[in-house]
Structure 1
Amino acid sequence: MSSASASPPPFSLVGLDHVVFLVDDMARALAFYGDVLGCQPGYSYPALGMEQVWTGASLIVLWDTTHPGAESARPPVAGGRNVDHVCIATSPFAPDAMRAHLAAHGVAIEREATHGGARGVGLSFYIRDPFGNKLELKGPAEYPDGRG
């Protein structure tokens, strides 16, 4: 992964701090992240058209591309993307309760899968926010050592 002669970085990695999603309807974005995912309000930057919401110990930044302050955030190609998905770690959940909650909010489940992540092997639900961003809602490890 790295050269033996390279010096290590002058820092250690702690985890994800935030992810920025481009949106075009802030009220709809805040409703989804608050009502569906239970995110709490974070920092607000009204001059930029940016709102942040807490996702556990990390932030999701919502940047409204229709706002004049978001000129530098607008992608050069309409519909372009540079992120496949973001995985949000969750507390334990009952799969049927997760399905019912998402259905009650009109959120389609694209895929359910049990596979590895930073906390081990566990159940995930893949969904999309109203702007097409793919989210993985990942429960805690069922097999912390990776064995099934």
Structure 2
Amino acid sequence: MTVPFSLVGIDHVVFLVDDMPKALRFYHEVLGCRPGYSYPALGMEQVWCGAALLVLWDVTHPGGNKARPPVSGGRNVDHICIATGPFEHDALRAHLARHGVAIEREALHGGARGMGHSFYVRDPFGNTIEIKGPAEYPDGRG
């Protein structure tokens, strides 16, 4: 199948939040994201996560009305995986603990860059974030 474009990667992911200051603290202080574009009329802030953007959309803001999920609706994203450079596992555990962020699971499995170690945490709004280090086996084989 031929498509009229080439895939480059993830541009952005939108998370629905209900406390923007709390969201920005988590994404800046815990994950180290840098400020991105701001859309105050929409109740939306974007943060840089490497070369991609995470969009935080406040559903309590009047501009976020159309983002509010229906009452019967559930989650629409299981998790987002953030690719990182090398890190010391114990240093990451200590960093998360200092910020009161529980590690829900650790795993060694495949991803776009091969087999690597992952830590699964939740942001203050229940979104699951996978923090994935570089491949331990660049070709994806053990």
Tell whether 2:85 aligns with 1:130: no
Q: CA RMSD in A?
A: 1.0
Counterpart-to-counterpart distance in 2, 1:91 and 1:37: 13
Aligned to 1:46: 40
Q: State the TM-score, normalizing by the size of structure 2.
A: 0.98
Q: Which of the residues 126, 132, 145 maps onto 2:139?
A: 145
Question: How many residues are matched?
Answer: 142
Displacement over 4 Å in runs of 4+? none
In structure 2, what is the equivalent of residue 36 of structure 1?
A: 30
1:62 maps to 2:50? no
* Alpha-carbon distance between aligned partners in 2 of 1:57 and 1:145, rounded to the nearest angstrom: 23
Shift of 1:77: 2.2
User: Could you tell me which residue of structure 1 aligns to residue 13 of structure 2?
Assistant: 19
Give the TM-score of the pair, scaled to structure 1: 0.94
**1:26-74 Cα distance to aligned partner (Å, 9 max, x none):** 0000000000000000000000000000000000000000000011100
- Match in the other structure for 2:80: 86
Structure 2 distance, partners of 1:49, 1:98, is 31
Cα distance between partner residues in 2 of 1:126 and 1:43:
26
Structure 2: unaligned runs, 5 residues or longer = none
Query: Computing the radius of gyration over CA atoms, which structure comes out larger, 1 or 2?
Result: 1
Identical columns (%) = 78
**Residue 136 (structure 1) shift:** 0.2
